[in-house]
Structure 1
Amino acid sequence: MIAYIKGNLTYIQDDSIIVEVQGLGYEIHCANPFAFQSFLNTEVIIHTYHYVREDSQMLYGFKNTDEKYLFTKLISVSGIGPKGALAILASVDVAGFAGAIEREDDKFLTSFPGIGKKTARQIILDLKGKLTGALSVSAETDDDTSGAHVPETQLAEAKEALQALGYTDREIKGVMPKLQQETINNTDEAVKKALALLIK
C-alpha cells in the first residue's frame, strides 16, 4: 500500500494531479485537484490510497488523513465506488458528512449524485458510529455551525446555478474550496461569492 507520496507538484488536470518523485511522475486522482493550485511547482505530501483491481490500478490522493479515511469507508459501502466517493469529498467537509450520518440525514445524503435512498440508508447502516471516533476533526451535528462553512445543500444549489450560467466543472471546482470557508447564509449569497471568486 502506498500511504503517501512526497514530491514536486508539476501539473494539475481536471480530475488529477501529477507529482514528480525522482524523475517519475505519479498521476493521483483527487476530489478537488485545483485545491492544490497554490502548491504548484513546490514540494507536497499527498496522502494516497492505492486502488487495485484485476483490470486497473489507480492512485487516489487526499489533503489529509481524515479525507483518506472517509474515502476508504465510503468505498466499503455497497453501491459506492471510487468515483462516487470522490464526488462526495469534492463538495463536503469531512466533519459535516460524519455529522449527517450520525443524524441519519437521508435528505442530505441523497443530495449527492448517484446516491439514492437505498444507498443513503446503506451508508448510515454501515458507517454510523464508525467515523467520529476515528477522525481528528469534530463531527458537530449542531445547526449553529453553519457560519463556519457553507451548508452543503446551498453549496450544491450554487454549483447548479454556476453550471446554468455556463461555467465549466473545472472552473467551479477551482473556487469550491475557498467558497466552503466563507460565512454564507443562503444560496443567493453563495452564488454571488462564487462569482466574485471566479472573476478574480
Structure 2
Amino acid sequence: MYEYIIGTLEYVSPQYIVVENNGIGYQILTPNPYTFSLEQQKQKIYTYFHVREDAQLLYGFKTLEEKEFFIKLINVSGIGPKGALAILAAGEPGQIAHAIEQENEKFLTTFPGVGKKTARQIILDLKGKLHEFINDFPEDMESESNDRHDDHERQEAILALEALGYSNKEVKKAMRHLQQEKLTTDQFIKLALKELSGF
C-alpha cells in the first residue's frame, strides 16, 4: 500500500521511529531505530504495511534492499514480521543471503529467535532465491559467525550511548580501546561511560 514515506523524523524510540508528513505522524517499526538521524531534515523511509486481525502496522527500512529482504523473510514458514525485523537488526541482507546459499545453519542460529529448525526452514524456503542480495562475502563464515555476536553487542552499545546524548565522535573515541574486547552490551556501555566521564 505504501511504497515509501518522505518526511521529518520527529522521534526515535528503541522499537520505532515517528516520521511527520503533511501534519501526520507515522509510527514506523524499524530494525535499528537509532541509525536514523534526527538532525537530517527530510528522510526517505521504505515502508511495508502489515495488516492482521488485531493491528495494522507500518514497518520501515533505510534501503529498498532491506525492505525486499524483509518481505522474503516473512514468506518463510514460521517467521513473522517481528522475527524478520530482529534478524535484520542483527545482520546485513547480503551477509544473511550468503549464509543461506552456503546452508550455514550455525551462522543463522546466531540471530535472535532462530533455532536449528527455523534455520533449516529459512534455507529450504529461500536458497536459490536471493542472488540479487549476495555481494562479495568471504567463503569462510565460521570465524565470522563467532565474531558477529560481539560486533552486534558493540554496535548496540554505541547506539545506546548516542541515544544518551553523546556525539558519534565521542562514542567512537571511548570505544576505540575496546575494539578487541568480547563483552556484553551492558559491559561495553559501562566501560565507555567511564571514558566519557573524562571528556
Normalised TM-score (structure 2): 0.76
Alignment of 1:24-173 (within 5 A): 24-36=24-36, 38-40=37-39, 42-133=41-132, 135=133, 138=135, 140-143=137-140, 151-157=144-150, 159=152, 171=160
Runs of 4+ with deviation above 6 angstroms: none
Displacement, 1:13? 0.8
When Rg is computed on C-alpha atoms for both structures, the one with the higher figure is 2
Letter of the structure 1 residue corresponding to residue 31 of structure 2: A
Which residue identity lines up with residue 31 of structure 1 in the other structure?
A: P
Percent of pairs identical after alignment?
Answer: 46
Q: CA deviation at 1:42?
A: 1.5
Q: Distance in 2 between matches of 1:48 and 1:23?
A: 18
> So what's the TM-score if we normalise by structure 1?
0.75
Query: Relative to 1, partners in 2 of residues 1:152 and 1:45: Cα closer, same or farther, differing over 3 Å?
Result: farther
Structure 1 distance, partners of 2:162, 2:49, is 23
CA RMSD of aligned residues (A): 3.6
Ranked by relative contact order (alpha carbons within 8 Å, sequence separation 6 or more), the top structure is 1
> For residue 188 of structure 1, what is the amino acid of its counterpart?
K
Match status 1:188 vs 2:182: yes
Inter-CA distance 162–50: structure 2 relative to 1 (3 Å threshold): closer
For this pair of structures, how many residues does the alignment match?
181
- The aligned amino acid for 1:156 is H
Structure 1 residue 152, shift from structure 2 partner:
4.7
Distance 1:41 1:158, change over 3 A: closer
Q: What code does the residue aligned with 2:95 have?
A: G
Task: Provide, for residues 87-112 of structure 1, a one-character-per-residue CA deviation record: whole Å limited to 9, x for no partner.
Answer: 11111111110000010000011111
Deviation readout 1:139-174 (Å, 9 max, x if unpaired):
635239x8xxxx3532324556899xxx6x972796
User: Structure 1: which 5+ runs fail to align?
Assistant: none
Query: 1:98/1:190 Cα in 2 relative to 1: closer, same or farther (>3 Å)?
Result: farther
> Contact 1:10–1:41 at 8 Å: present in 2 too?
no
User: Aligned AA for 2:160?
Assistant: E
